[in-house]
């Protein structure tokens, strides 16, 4: 898949603010500051389309990016950010729960992990939910540029054992590593999880 058009469409707190229509959606799920918004910018090739920050907790709404007029990438607020007040954390959780429980457009999830840390309880819960709901998934180990090749290799092997995903993709928003593999997986999700037609454009 080649991305030729990427537009920010909506920042939503509640379902009434989600884009209308039936275009399929792929969500980005991961810890705060792991690099979800940077990944969107990297795969669409537009710096600054999704706002990023070195301070965790940047993305506080559900942000919809329409790609090639054919599907949405949906940037969810990150979890695991310890420094937000309980009240705010609860409202983020409710916001994400409203999306994942009700959104019929959801076709797939990209789970983003930092290869330098082991997946925790929350990630385990995310995979359990994806498996239970039969939602196609891809795992990305981002910030690969921060590890040596050897380190990345051994972390990939360790993380593979800890998650129900046989093919995590090594990725870097800085070098572009893994971009093509991830776009191919996203296209497979949009086509229903199968491998057919992966070279056709959307």
- The CB-nearest residue to ligand GTP is 78
- Contact between 58 and Mg ion per CB under 5 A: yes
Q: For residue 80, state whether it binds ligand GTP (rule: CB under 6 A).
A: no
What is the dihedral sign for C-alpha 60, 124, 128, 140?
A: positive
Stretch that binds ligand GTP, among 6-14, 51-59, 83-91, 93-101 (CB under 6 A): 51-59
- Cβ neighbours for 168, distance < 8 A, ≥ 6 positions apart: 113, 139, 140, 141, 156, 159, 160
Is the separation of the CB atoms in 64 and 10 below 8 Å?
yes
Q: Which is nearer to ligand GTP, 48 or 132 (CB)?
A: 48
Q: Does 37 bind Mg ion (CB under 5 A)?
A: yes
35 binds, among ligand GTP, Mg ion, none (CB under 5 to 8 A by kind): ligand GTP
For residue 199, the minimal CB distance to ligand GTP (Å) is 26
33 touches Mg ion (CB under 5 A): no
DSSP 71: E
63 binds ligand GTP (CB under 6 A): no
Using CB under 6 A as the criterion, what x/- string covers residues 3-32 for binding ligand GTP? ---------------------------x-x
Size of the site for ligand GTP (CB under 6 A): 24
Alpha-carbon gap, residue 118 to 184, rounded angstroms: 26
Helix axes of 179-190 and 36-44: crossing angle, nearest 10 degrees? 90
Order of strands across the sheet with 106-113?
6-12, 62-67, 71-75, 25-30, 106-113, 137-141, 169-170
Which of Mg ion, ligand GTP, none binds 105 (CB below 5-8 Å, type-dependent)?
Answer: none
Q: From CA 126, how far away is CA 89, in angstroms rounded?
A: 17
Residues that bind Mg ion (CB under 5 A): 36-37, 58-59
Which residues are at the interface with ligand GTP (CB under 6 A)? 30, 32-38, 52-54, 56-59, 77-78, 142-143, 145-146, 172-174
């Amino acid at each position: 898949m080649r991305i030729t058009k990427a537009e920010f469409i909506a920042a939503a707190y509640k379902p009434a603010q989600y884009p209308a229509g039936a275009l399929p959606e792929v969500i980005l799920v991961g810890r705060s500051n792991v690099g979800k918004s940077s990944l969107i910018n990297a795969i669409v090739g537009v710096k600054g389309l999704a706002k990023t920050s070195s301070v965790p907790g940047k993305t506080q709404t559900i942000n919809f990016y329409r790609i090639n007029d054919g599907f949405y990438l949906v940037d969810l607020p990150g979890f695991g950010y310890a420094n937000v007040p309980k009240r705010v954390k609860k409202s983020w959780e409710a916001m994400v729960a409203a999306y994942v429980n009700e959104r019929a457009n959801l076709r797939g999830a990209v789970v983003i992990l930092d290869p330098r840390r082991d997946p925790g309880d929350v990630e385990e819960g995310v995979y359990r939910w994806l498996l239970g709901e039969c939602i196609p998934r891809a795992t990305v180990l981002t910030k690969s540029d921060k590890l040596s090749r050897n380190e990345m290799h051994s972390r990939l092997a360790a993380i593979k054992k800890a998650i129900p995903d046989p093919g995590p993709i090594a990725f870097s928003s800085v070098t572009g590593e893994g971009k093509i593999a991830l776009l191919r997986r996203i296209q497979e999700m949009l086509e229903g999880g199968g491998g057919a037609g992966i070279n056709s454009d959307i």
